[in-house]
Structure formats: C-alpha cells, structure tokens
Amino acid sequence: MRMSFDAAIVGAGPAGSATAILLARAGWSVALIERQAFPRRKVCGECVAASNLALLDALGVGREFDRRAGAELRRVALLRGGDAVVAALPGGEAKARRWGRALGREQFDTLLADAAEAAGATRLQPCAVQTIEGGPGAFRLRLRPSGVGEVTIAASLVVAAHGSWEPLPAERDEQREARAASDLFAFKANFRDAAIAADLLPVLSFAGGYGGMVVADDGLATLAGCVRADRLQALRGALPGASAGAVVEAMLRRECAGVRDALAGATRVGPWIASGPLRPGVRLGQGDGVFRVGNAAGEAHPIVGEGISMALQSAFVLAELINGDRGRLLSSASAGAAQRRALAVYEARWRRRFAHRLRVAAVFAHVAMRPALARAAWPLLRRWPAVLTAGARWSGKTRPVPEAARWVGAA
C-alpha cells in the first residue's frame, strides 16, 4: 500500500469524492479515505438541486445521474397538520434540466466514489481516520482499515470531508459533553407504493421538527426529517420500548395528514436509520491547517435541501483555488506558508458563497419547528403560495454556479 500522498481526503460523501475527482484529474496523488463500505444508506432527503447538474457532468457522472434519478421536481408543498399549500418550484437557468431530481444516497455516493477511483484516487475503504497530526506540508493520518490494525499515512495537504454528524474519533469526548435540548436528530426511511406525485416535493412542518418526502429512483419514496432532542425524548417517553424511528413515524402519521395519506397503502423498505446530533453552523477557522468542504465546513438546516449542493460546490471552489498552485502548495520549502494563505482565501470564498444559505435555512427551520411562528406564517402562505417559490430561490436552489460553465467538457 502506498503510504504517502499529496492530498488525503477524509470522507467519501459528495464533498470528498468530488474533491478527489478534481484533484486527481489535475495530477495530485490523492488518498480518499471512507469509514463505511459502499453502497450504504444515509439519512438524507436525496434531492439534488438543478444548479448542480452541470457539476455532475463535469465530474463525469451526469449521464448516469440522469438515467437513474427520479422525476423532475417541479412543485413544492408545505404540509402542516391537516393543511397544505402547494407552489411551483423555481426552475434553474439552463434551458434543459431546469429542475432538481432525487437519487438514493446508496447510488449517488457510490457513483461519485467510483468516479474518484477511476480518476486515479487511491480509495481506502472501509477505513476510518482516527487522528490527523502535524500540519500543512507534513500531515500524518492514523487510519484504522477494516480487519487490519492501524496504519499511518503521510500527506502534504488534508481535506476534511467527513460531514458533520460523526466527529473524528479524537473529537468524540468533546461532543459528548455538549448535548443540548435544541440538538436535532435526523431520520430517514424508504417506502414502496407511497402516494406522492412524482413531481412534488412535500415539506413537513411539525412541533419540534421538520422534514420532507420525495419519490427518488426506482419509484422508491424517501421520508426524512429532523426532530429536536427534547421533542424526541417526550415522544419516546410516551411509547416506552419503541425505536426512535418507530416513534417518529407514529408521530408523523398522527400529526401530519399529508404523511398519513401518502403512507396509507405504502410498505416500508428496510429499517429507519438515524443520525445526529446535528448542529447547523459554520465550522471553518479552526486553525489546524486543514481544508474543510461540505458539511465539515458548514451545515445549513436541511429543511432547504441544499447540503449536497454545498458539498459539491465547495469542492469546486477549493479545487479551482489549489489546482493552479500545486507546485508551491506541495513543495517542502513553501508548503506551510502557501497552504495557510490558500486556506484563508478559501475560507473567505466559502463564506461569501454559502453563509447566506445557512442564515436563510435557519429562519425557515425555526418557523417550521415552532408552532406559534408556523401558525402566524400560515395565512400569509395560504394567500401567497409564491412565497414558497421565492423561499426556494432565497435558499440558493437556482443560484448560478460559476464553476459550471468553466468546467464544461472537463470529464
């Protein structure tokens, strides 16, 4: 096994695999390190916004995505209690492929990780990163490959793409101490024969949480959402012995007519899966010399379904910045200073591009989760459903992605 790389990328979700593809193609030696074996299910609403479809082309997986994904999502519905408001989703700017579509993460993430390997990245999987030591120009990563003891690899540059729901093992104790009632726990289940129109994206609002439903690939519906820790605890207290997924499903069927109707004739496929705690926010500026992409850089409340967009787009922002300066970033004489300078530029670009989405998503999430706010907003939405269309626009769904044009034909 090769033990030394130009770049080590921690995590093969969309952010990590996209970064690996872009760096490997530009000639970097890349280790893409992923803890789990693929394909694997992942808690996610699985909707990919239209603004990313050109990026998928540039990554070499656009055609396969088009072949496998569910129908174009042209309408959004907001469901609360027995009420529903339906509005058009805004189309993207491209003439073709103007709407987002959904693809199960077991397929989406595998497609991207396979493309990274095909581009030349060394895929270490399943293999967990235990610690990252050293600094720019001379990192050491302690890895635990499945079935083998421990291995240490060296990398000049490190990209953290391990998401936000699983801290690196060395950070676990820190997170365990800081649990709060406002922490969110996320859930997902898949259903066959759910009664959801193929072009509709129903968004759910309920006390202490929010969620969404969609028909993804192969007609399989995804139901995913987030519930505050205090609400989850109360639900579990009322149904002792039941799993967290079972109490969430029972609550959604009881409190949300749209879910009850959609699932009336449906059968669940596989168990509920859960993750968390989620703490949306920015995670940059940690001073450790590590570049962060995707959720590891910052997480928007998933009510807006923009996490995959931010994962892919942050990978392009980073690759555009560092690919042109590879020599200085990797040379033993200049790596430390050059990487720290590039990190400052990258983090400023990240904030300019994404910080606004986090703020918009936080406003939507708090309105959706708090009954008094949701009740106050409802008459407005009923009267002007176009506010939902505008909301999707504010959350970044149709924002042009400048890299899309620059990388056309790169695959």
User: Angle 21-23-24 (CA atoms, 0-180°, nearest 5)?
Assistant: 65
Verify binding: residue 36, ligand FAD, rule CB under 6 A: yes
Looking at the chain, the number of H-run helices and the number of E-run strands are: 14, 18
Q: With the C-alpha atoms ordered 359, 100, 63, 194, is the resulting torsion angle positive or negative?
A: positive
Supply the angle between the helices 14-25 and 307-323 in degrees, to the nearest 10. 20
Verify binding: residue 7, ligand FAD, rule CB under 6 A: no
Helices (H), 6-130: 14-25, 53-58, 62-68, 105-118
- Residue type present at position 75: R
- Smallest distance from ligand FAD to CB 361, Å: 10
Of 13-21, 87-95, 351-359, 379-387, the window that binds ligand FAD (rule: CB under 6 A) is 13-21
- Smallest distance from ligand FAD to CB 4, Å: 18
Verify binding: residue 35, ligand FAD, rule CB under 6 A: yes
| CA–CA distance, 209 with 34 (Å, rounded to integer) | 30
Verify binding: residue 306, ligand FAD, rule CB under 6 A: yes
Binding residue for ligand FAD, selected from 307, 381, 396, 403, defined by CB under 6 A: 307
Verify binding: residue 357, ligand FAD, rule CB under 6 A: no
Ranked by CB distance to ligand FAD, the top (closest) residue is 307
- Using alpha carbons, select from 27, 26, 31 the residue that is nearest to residue 1: 31
Binding residue for ligand FAD, selected from 16, 202, 280, 298, defined by CB under 6 A: 16
Looking at residue 289, the DSSP 8-state letter turns out to be S
- Smallest distance from ligand FAD to CB 192, Å: 19
Residue 340 Cα distances to 136, 221, 285, 330, angstroms:
7, 44, 11, 12
- Smallest distance from ligand FAD to CB 327, Å: 28
Verify binding: residue 15, ligand FAD, rule CB under 6 A: yes
**What backbone phi and psi angles, to 5 degrees, belong to 143?**
-115, 150
| CA–CA distance, 361 with 306 (Å, rounded to integer) | 9
Of 44-52, 235-243, 367-375, 395-403, the window that binds ligand FAD (rule: CB under 6 A) is 44-52
Residue 263 Cα distances to 67, 185, 211, 221, angstroms:
26, 22, 15, 10
Q: Hey, which residues between 185 and 244 contact ligand FAD (CB under 6 A)?
A: 186, 224-226
Verify binding: residue 396, ligand FAD, rule CB under 6 A: no
How many positions of this chain bind ligand FAD (CB under 6 A)?
38
Query: Which x/- pattern, by CB under 6 A, does the window 250-289 give for ligand FAD?
Result: ----------------------------x-----------
- Binding residues vs ligand FAD (CB under 6 A): 10-16, 33-36, 43-47, 128-129, 161-163, 166, 168, 186, 224-226, 278, 294-296, 302, 305-309, 311
